[in-house]
Chains A and B, each alone.
Chain A
Amino acid sequence: MKHLIKITIVALITVSFTSCNKKTRPNYEYMPNMYESVAYEAYQESDAFANGVEAQLPVEGTISRGYMPFDYAGDTDGYNLAKAELTSPLDSTQVDLNRGKELYNIYCGICHGNKGAGQGQLVKREKILGVPSYADAGRAINEGSIYHVIYYGKNAMGSYANQLNEEERWQVVAYVLSLKANLEK
């Protein structure tokens, strides 16, 4: 009888120790006021704003530092206008095809394929279908239209304006044009 009691006590202690060590809960901290920021951390909840989050959109009508507003509308008319008149601000010395390639392979190659033929990993695995080749005659993409599509997206493709900044977008445009030239050879 006494043994039984002892065994249960030991078992209870082990259980209580192990149950505190759950993987789904964060561990204890020594001095939380040194660990946790007084200032808001990125994406933190905050009651300072009506929608309860720290991450806010820029106030309407303001322009963030280092950003240039893009004057073309995100609809078919804007697309056609960009296709007709928008050109790259990068000159030949500023175009860095290696960087363009690196960025392209991260953001575009997954669907458009690393050669631009529309045979990316997701297309080969039949997750996303109908990705056109850059050499597609019906679309006849050019500098301005590529930039417009990266900025706003088109049809099933989403906007990449938040993943690539202005300069990076133009680098990708330059790389896409080089892929297109290779495909049309």
Chain B
Amino acid sequence: MKKSYQSQEVNSIYNMKQVIHRKLGINSLRLSLIFLLTFSTSLFAQDGDPVAGKSLFNANCAACHKLDKKMTGPALRNVEQRLSEEEGLDREWLYTWIKNSPSMIKSGDAYANKIYEEYGGAAMTPFPQLSNADIDNILAYTATEAAPPPAPTPGAETGTAQVEGGISNDIILGALGLLFALLAIALFLVNKTLRRFAEAKGVELESTKRTPIWKAFIQNQFLVLVSVIVLLLASAYFVYGYFMQVGVNQGYEPVQPIHYSHRIHAGENGIDCKYCHSSARVSKHSGIPSLNVCMNCHKSIYEVAPETQQEGLAEYGVDYNAEIKKLYAAVGWDDAEQKYTGETSPVKWIRIHNLPDFAYFNHSQHVTVAGVECQTCHGPVEEMEIMSQHAPLTMGWCINCHRETNVKVKDNAYYTKIHEQLSKKYGVENLTAAQMGGLECGKCHY
């Protein structure tokens, strides 16, 4: 071990280190013995690996079970302990139940039938692919202690920090305003004192009698004419601009009864627009989804991830979990009992994109036949926290797109015949929507 060129000093240090290590070894042995003794009971009870169990649980069980919350099936925290204490059932029973619950129900097992009836005859899928060791791991995971609820302080802290940030911005602006006001006062005072000095010293301040500027202006008839014309043109410009934007709702973002974030749903989670707005594929309207479509996911997602919740509170001032509760109230879902109560109240969504009654527009024609992306007209919805109208939806805007857009005729049987005829007629390869008749009045106004 020791090398010959090492000096005495190094050797002594080396020896000391060895001693320290040996002591540490003994200490750690002793510690682990104590540890073993104290936790031996629990160690004997759960001989599975909770980490492997977690991934197995998430892959196989989590569709119907949560640890602390009733879902399609019962909550599973400490399920083994509860079963042995309350029903006197051992792990063997669980093995059989998990691997083939239907046959167990058929065989007339009392508790199997009881739980089957309690959950409305929703049979548990058999899991023959799980080995006993897998089930041990899962049970070890279900026996882990519940993590203490995340302290609400960090959220509150960031919230207040954000508010403080807002206030401090205001304070900075206010301080700047005050500074400028003080400067103006100081200037005024300096001017006043200087004048007083001048008076006291008998300095005569020049005060030439000039014609006031407005009199000079009126006397110059040419200047009056020019400025009147400029004024008229400018006001005409603004009046025209004002009248042209009447009836245009670009940027309209009303406050909806339930705060729905397209940013989270379509952006972060990448849910297709047509998942919820399914009627855009097949009908004139791109419908607002009925609440059962929300419940497809929100039956399982009863609260958002803690980070999302914090982000919502800090950046947008929205409590996402409270919004999910609003959904449950509207659709009549009792989250604790996992049942519909039947008491529903329609949500009064506020319509944003609204064409006037005299213009016809068909979603399916644009979405399914023409294959236009939703974002072409609705803008980057997947980035919008609050939905707003992206396009002006004026006739000029429609016409412009019809003139510029080449119709995607490739692989679209709908267009094969008409495309041949029209491309011969116009002598072009790519047809725009306008050349296909997209400018005819009667297409949209009838």
Partner-B contacts on A (CB < 8 A): 23-30, 34-38, 42-43, 45, 51-53, 75-76, 105-107, 110, 118, 121-122, 125-132, 136-139, 153, 155-160, 162-165
For A157, the chain B residues whose CB sits under 8 A away are 296
CB distance from A10 to the nearest CB of B (A): 15
**B357 & A37 in contact (Cβ 8 Å cutoff):** yes
A34 to B359 CA separation, bound complex (whole angstroms): 10
**CB <8 Å contact, A27 and B290:** no
CB pair B246 A24 closer than 8 Å: no
B252 touches A26 (CB 8 A): yes
> In this complex, what residue of A is CB-closest to B346?
A53
Cross-chain contact A156 with B293 (CB below 8 angstroms): no
Distance of B177 from chain A, by nearest CB (Å) = 15
Cβ contact within 8 Å between A23 and B296:
no
List chain B residues, Cβ under 8 A from A26: 249, 252, 254, 354
Within the complex, the shortest CB–CB distance from A122 to chain B, in Å, comes to 6
Chain B residues contacting A121 (CB-CB under 8 Å) are 269-271
Measured in the bound complex, the distance between the Cα atoms of B22 and A146 in whole Å is: 65
Give the contacting residue for B356; candidates A34, A156, A158, A162; CB below 8 A. A34
Q: Which of the residues B122, B129, B247, B297 comes within 8 Å of A128, measured between beta carbons?
A: B297
A52 CA / B345 CA spacing, docked (Å): 10
CB pairs A–B below 8 angstroms (30 shown): A24-B254, A24-B255, A27-B246, A34-B356, A34-B358, A43-B287, A51-B346, A76-B122, A106-B278, A107-B272, A107-B275, A121-B271, A122-B269, A126-B58, A128-B300, A129-B63, A130-B57, A130-B59, A130-B65, A131-B63, A138-B127, A155-B63, A155-B122, A156-B72, A158-B295, A159-B292, A162-B278, A162-B290, A162-B292, A162-B293
Q: Which of B121, B248, B270, B285 contacts A27 (CB 8 A)?
A: B248
How far is A52 from B269 in the complex, measured between Cα atoms in Å?
A: 34
Given contact pairs A51-B346, A130-B59, enumerate 10 new A-B contacts (beta carbons under 8 Å).
Answer: A35-B357, A42-B285, A43-B288, A106-B275, A128-B301, A130-B65, A138-B126, A155-B72, A156-B64, A160-B296
Please pick, from B57, B247, B299, the residue contacting A30 in the complex, using a CB distance under 8 A: B247
Closest chain A CB from B230 CB (angstroms): 19
* A138-B246 contact, Cβ under 8 Å, with A37-B357, A110-B271, A155-B122: no
User: Which 8 pairs between the two chains have the least Cβ-Cβ distance?
Assistant: A130-B63, A130-B62, A129-B62, A158-B296, A163-B278, A35-B356, A155-B72, A37-B357
Q: Which residues of A contact B252 (CB under 8 A)?
A: 23-27
Q: Which of chain B's residues have a CB closer than 8 A to the CB of A110?
A: 269-272, 275
Q: What's the nearest-Cβ distance from chain B to residue A171, in Å?
A: 13
Number of interface residues of B (CB under 8 A): 60
Instruction: Give residues in B with beta carbon < 8 Å to A.
Output: 57-65, 71-72, 121-123, 125-129, 245-249, 251-255, 268-272, 274-275, 278, 282, 285, 287-288, 290, 292-293, 295-297, 299-301, 305, 346, 348-349, 351, 354, 356-358, 388
A72–B223 Cα gap in the complex (Å)? 88
Nearest Cβ distance between residue B117 and chain A, in whole angstroms? 12
**Cβ contacts under 8 Å, A36 to chain B:** 356-357
Per the bound structure, the CA–CA distance linking A126 and B300 in Å amounts to: 11
A164 to B300, CA, bound (A): 22
Contacts of B251 in A (CB 8 A): 23
Assess the A130–B275 pair: CB atoms within 8 A. no
CA distance A162 to B295 in the complex (A): 13
Contacts of B62 in A (CB 8 A): 129-130
| Inter-subunit contact A158/B299 (CB<8 Å) | yes
A130, B64: Cβ atoms closer than 8 Å: yes
> Are the C-beta atoms of B64 and A127 separated by less than 8 Å?
no
A127 lies within 8 A of B297 (CB):
yes
* Alpha-carbon distance between A72 and B62 when the two chains are bound, in angstroms: 28
Give the complex CA separation of A28 and B243 in angstroms: 10
Whether B247 and A28, one on each chain, are in contact in the complex, defined by CB atoms closer than 8 angstroms, is yes
Alpha-carbon separation in the docked complex, A30 to B246 (Å): 7
For residue B348, which residue of chain A has the nearest CB?
A: A45
Q: How far is the CA of A138 from the CA of B65 in the complex (A)?
A: 17
The residues of B that contact A75 with a CB separation of less than 8 Å are 121
A157–B287 alpha-carbon span in the complex (Å): 22
Q: Which residues of B contact A136 (CB under 8 A)?
A: 125, 129
Question: Bound complex: CA of A130 vs CA of B60, how far in Å?
Answer: 5
Chain A residues whose C-beta falls within 8 Å of the C-beta of B285 in the assembled complex: 42
Least distance between B78 CB and chain A CB atoms (Å): 19
Measured CB to CB, the nearest residue on chain B to A98 is B411
- Kindly identify which residue among B128, B269, B270 contacts A138, using a CB–CB cutoff of 8 Å: B128
CB distance from B281 to the nearest CB of A (A): 9
**B269 touching A156, Cβ below 8 Å:** no
Min CB gap A135→B, angstroms: 10
Nearest Cβ distance between residue A58 and chain B, in whole angstroms? Answer: 14
Give chain A residues whose Cβ lies under 8 Å from the Cβ of B65: 130
